[in-house]
Structure 1
């Protein structure tokens, strides 16, 4: 699919590492003209993402901003204003609270819920609102891809607030796909495990390797997905190849969801 992003303008939140970085590199490889690389704190890692984007011939624009802040979301959008449009917006920024024993209701607080919702849900909404005019300015409908999670579909994951926030993001994807058509397409991906520092927090290399092996042994496809594996699916939803797709939630989890109750809705 090399060249399907030729000349396109892309904005990615949470792009300093992991999936966001992999998306940035993927669109640059596929011909993007410019990539707005948002990060909250990791300046050095964001610079590395920008260097990789430039190595593929795309312009990289770095913007430090917290999507929980509406004014910061507007600054991210403004970074693309000089190009006259945004062809694809990836709402990838996200946070969690690690409390994997969901039965321990004292492990999380109301403040945890509010912080996760403010970034994972409200932040994505604010970014779409801030970028709306630029997403509508191109010849083709602008594309939004929200990074949700299998946690939001099955109620598993790092904590109850995280799963709940990702479920809300998936519902919002449906609402905005309906409301913003035909000028903007809105879709979401739901990854499972991704072999990135996010999933390896607090683990040494031996522990991380055991985690990878455990995931690969437990999922139907017998793999531990990399950021690049997931990025390809996210980029598909923003590409011309998915121009007739909106309001869709694509589960990209190597089959993890197959071990849970039948899914009547995504």
Structure 2
């Protein structure tokens, strides 16, 4: 393993160019981490994310890779090690889904189901496998970005729900399998106010969905990317926490809003 270039910790964040990934990268940059910001398509956004991290005092790289491909996952880990000689934190954030008519489960094509599982679930597994030796060497940790979909069985599409359920199960298994050397946790947001949902259902659909969501959960608000990033950063530093699936759903799992008394 290469010699670290500094005493700063190193985080690898998949899907780090936009939304939750970009927010987590910037927050970690301000807390002593250097960053490898992975992207598959959002090159300009990933470069901007890395530049923001550098402006916050971190060293940062934007590296393209499709996490559904094992060779790309190993290349991402290798790029971090070549630059810094260590990996302290892996944030498995890359994810895809389908929306609207394409998400109707009765007519879903196998290729669509397989692609979502390949990125969301298999990709997370492959990134863990690529980084695990380095994580063990520094008593590091993994934070998987899952979803309330995997806990409650609701979400944009059935393969998305299935993929997040798989991530939750893997989180629990790996927390046991990698202890005590590596901690493994997951964050499970509900609706997130990011462009990902807007791109999926359109502006009007997003606004209607957000209104309905906030009216139906006890805290009456959705997550921002920064809300999710705060939970990721907390888990990264919570040295006695492993095997947790942290629901960031405004209380959605409680079953709705009760009339005030």
Q: TM-score, normalised by structure 1?
A: 0.88
Contact 1:85 1:136 in 2 (8 A): no
Q: Map 1:243-254 onto structure 2 (within 5 A).
A: 243-254=239-250
Contact 2:217 2:252 in 1 (8 A): yes
Q: Detail structure 1 runs of 4+ shifted over 6 Å in the superposition.
A: none
Q: C-alpha separation between the residues in 1 aligned to 2:49 and 2:200?
A: 23
1:205 is displaced (CA, Å) by 4.5
Q: Deviations over 1:60-93 (max 9, x none)?
A: 1111000000000011101111322111100000
1:153 is displaced (CA, Å) by 0.7
Call closer, same or farther: CA 1:120–1:186 in 2, change over 3 Å.
Answer: same
1:100 is displaced (CA, Å) by 7.5
| Residue ranges of structure 2 left out of the alignment (5+ in a row) | 1-6, 257-261
Paired residue secondary structure (1:201): helix
Partner of 1:109: 109
Q: C-alpha separation between the residues in 2 aligned to 1:127 and 1:212?
A: 32
Q: C-alpha separation between the residues in 2 aligned to 1:172 and 1:203?
A: 29
Q: C-alpha separation between the residues in 2 aligned to 1:46 and 1:35?
A: 11
Partner of 2:24: 23
Q: C-alpha separation between the residues in 2 aligned to 1:202 and 1:150?
A: 18
| Residue ranges of structure 1 left out of the alignment (5+ in a row) | 1-5, 261-266
Partner of 1:263: none
Q: C-alpha separation between the residues in 1 aligned to 2:227 and 2:132?
A: 29
Paired residue secondary structure (1:67): coil
Q: C-alpha separation between the residues in 1 aligned to 2:100 and 2:201?
A: 15
Q: Deviations over 1:106-165 (max 9, x none)?
A: 331222221111111111111011011111122xx2100001110011110001111011
Partner of 1:185: 183
Call closer, same or farther: CA 1:206–1:155 in 2, change over 3 Å.
Answer: closer
Q: C-alpha separation between the residues in 2 aligned to 1:129 and 1:209?
A: 39
Q: C-alpha separation between the residues in 2 aligned to 1:69 and 1:193?
A: 28
Is 1:256 matched with 2:260?
no
Partner of 1:118: 118
Is 1:54 matched with 2:54?
yes
Q: C-alpha separation between the residues in 2 aligned to 1:88 and 1:243?
A: 12
Q: Deviations over 1:10-33 (max 9, x none)?
A: 11000110000010011012222x
Q: Deviations over 1:247-266 (max 9, x none)?
A: 11111111111117xxxxxx
Paired residue secondary structure (1:246): coil
Partner of 1:91: 92
Partner of 1:36: 36
Contact 2:223 2:248 in 1 (8 A): no
Call closer, same or farther: CA 1:56–1:206 in 2, change over 3 Å.
Answer: same
Give the structure with the higher percent helix. 2
Contact 2:99 2:200 in 1 (8 A): no
